[in-house]
Amino acid sequence: GWSGSSCDACAAGFFGSNCIACQGCGDYRVCENNVVGSGKCMCDKTFRSVFCDCSVDEFMIPCLSSRLKWKSFEKSSSIQLGKSEFAQELDLLGLGRPAISANGLVIAAASPNYAKKDNLSYRIGAVLIWERKSTSEEFGETREKGQVLWDPEGRDGEELGRGGVALSANGLIVAAAAPYTNKEPQYGGAILVWERERIDVAFQSSSSTKLYNPEGKADDCLGEGGVSFSADGCILVGAAFEHANSVGAVLIWERNSTKVKFTPSVFVKLMALNGKEEKYLGSGGPIISANGLVVAANRRANEGTDKVVVWTRSKTIEAFSKAIYLNEPKGSAGDCMGCGGLSISANGLVLAAASVYDDGKTESSGSVLVWDIASTSSR
């Protein structure tokens, strides 16, 4: 392990007075070698965190906290759901966002092109549910078939679940939108909610509640970008991004307890009217924090930069505050910030959105923006 013209230095990968070989440090760590080195693994160059897997390079997202090490899962196999008697050609299972309960026991995903086999319908859409009794079991081990939920009044082309599905934290409530409802107003959109009292009760045994915008117009497309629940399932958020001549609106249904159903006509409508050239509020799907105190949605801009609009409150019994507008100072029209949806921490203090066409390092290489809502500063 010695090196140097006088053999008085340690070769690379060796340390200490006896030049002992360093232990393996992984992809992003280097050994503190040389004669006076400790042999400890140190993060290489711009990497940080316990596992040295968080980059602080100028083109990367800053480190927010230490992250779990997933390398041990690399050699494990995944479980593929969806290959069942329910599968049909061009179902597009999972086109939007799949959802998983907080305890990891319930998974939901939508097939917007699903059609009932007993008639000539097409693209009605359906929500599929898989469950297990504990995390030690595989999905499908206790129930061979997934549950399939659809709108019994659904019509051709409504595409239930196109924007994905939402689950309450306990897995007892699931929701999905049919944005292209073929009833008046045509393509106004509706959100369906299924609820059950216990985890051992199938969703199929309960009827759904259908939510819509009584003020809705044709082509509002309520829920096309998906819907979002608070953790307790008492608050549901969806957006009609084509509402009011494509200005868009975020709709919030709220109840005091899961013991009562959502009332379709009782909702709050949030809009953002600070710019005539800004449209399509919530086109990427709105989101609500787990505690129900923060709501956010993207907003497109014909000129200038796209924005993320945020509404906050300190208690669930209060109304949401005046909108806060977040943007990327170096962004430009066409970055499509938030078009793929937003993500928010459970306490509502950290918000992330992707600008998929941002010319960050190279043309349309994309970027992810992170804000601390308390200071509304972009990281």
Find the mean pLDDT for residues 164-173.
Answer: 95
Burial class (CB in 10 A: 0-12, 13-18, 19+), 27: exposed
Q: Which two tokens stand for residue 329?
A: 């100072």
Top pLDDT among 274 and 336 is at: 336
Gap between the Cα atoms of 287 and 237, Å rounded: 7
Do residue 16 and residue 133 come from a single domain?
A: no
What domain count does the chain have?
Answer: 2
Which tens digit of pLDDT belongs to each residue from 210-264?
999 888 888 899 999 999 999 999 999 999 998 888 889 999 999 999 999 999 8
Using CA atoms, how far residue 191 sits from 165, 210, 236, 356, 366, in Å, is 10, 6, 10, 27, 31
Whether residue 177 is predicted with pLDDT greater than 80 in this model: the reply is yes
Residues 111 and 184 in one domain: yes
Question: Which of 11 and 174 is assigned the larger pLDDT?
Answer: 174
Domain assignment of residue 259, yes or no: yes
The domain of 51 spans 1-67
Degrees to nearest 5, angle at CA 223 with 222 and 228: 135
How far, in Å, CA of 131 to CA of 202, rounded? 10
* Residue 370 β-bridge partners: 352
> What does the pLDDT look like over 89-109, one tens digit per residue?
667 887 888 999 998 999 999
Last residue of a domain, one of 67, 99, 119: 67
pLDDT at 370 over 80: yes
Alpha-carbon distance of 57 to 45, in angstroms, equals: 9
130 and 46, same domain (yes or no): no
Does a structural domain hold residue 311?
yes
Strand partners, 269: 251
28 lies in the same domain as 100: no
Bigger pLDDT: 162 vs 329: 162
CATH code, domain with 210? 2.130.10.130
Asked if residue 237 belongs to a domain, the reply is yes
Residue 379 domain-assigned (yes or no): no
Whole-number pLDDT of residue 261: 94
pLDDT tier at 364 (50, 70, 90 boundaries)? confident
- Residue 171 CA neighbour count, 13 Å, CB half: 22
C-alpha to C-alpha distance for 98 and 225, rounded to whole angstroms? 13
Residue 246 within a domain: yes
Domain-embedded: residue 378: no
From the list 148, 162, 147, the residue with the least C-alpha distance to 97 is 162
Residues 113 and 63 grouped into a single domain:
no
Residues 132 and 56 in one domain: no
Q: Which two tokens stand for residue 85?
A: 């008697």
Are 208 and 307 found together in one domain?
A: yes
Residues 106-150 have pLDDT tens digits of: 999 998 887 765 555 678 888 988 888 888 887 764 444 558 888
Q: What is the mean pLDDT of the chain?
A: 81
Do 38 and 123 fall within a single domain? no
Looking at the structure, tell me whether residues 114 and 235 fall in a common domain: yes
Nearest to 189 by CA among 152, 165, 154: 154
Higher pLDDT, 277 or 102: 102
Q: Residue 196: which pLDDT band, with cuts at 50, 70 and 90?
A: very high
The encoded tokens of residue 88 equal 């049909």
Q: Do 317 and 355 belong to one domain?
A: yes
Residue 76 lies in a domain: no
User: Within this chain, do residues 111 and 232 fall inside the same structural domain, yes or no?
Assistant: yes
Q: What is the pLDDT of residue 355?
A: 87
Instruction: Name the percent of the chain lying above pLDDT 90.
Output: 34
Q: Is the pLDDT confidence value at 51 over 50?
A: yes
Nearest residue to 373 via CA among 289, 300, 301, 250 = 289
Residue with tokens 């340690």: 10
pLDDT class for 375, splitting at 50, 70, 90? very low
pLDDT at 62 over 70: no
Is 234 within a domain? yes
Q: Is the pLDDT of residue 34 over 60?
A: yes
Pairwise CA distance, residues 289 & 276, whole Å: 28
User: Which of 14, 39, 67 corresponds to the end of one domain?
Assistant: 67
pLDDT at residue 294, as a whole number: 95
C-alpha closest to that of 262 among 254, 252, 274: 254
Same domain, 253 and 134: yes
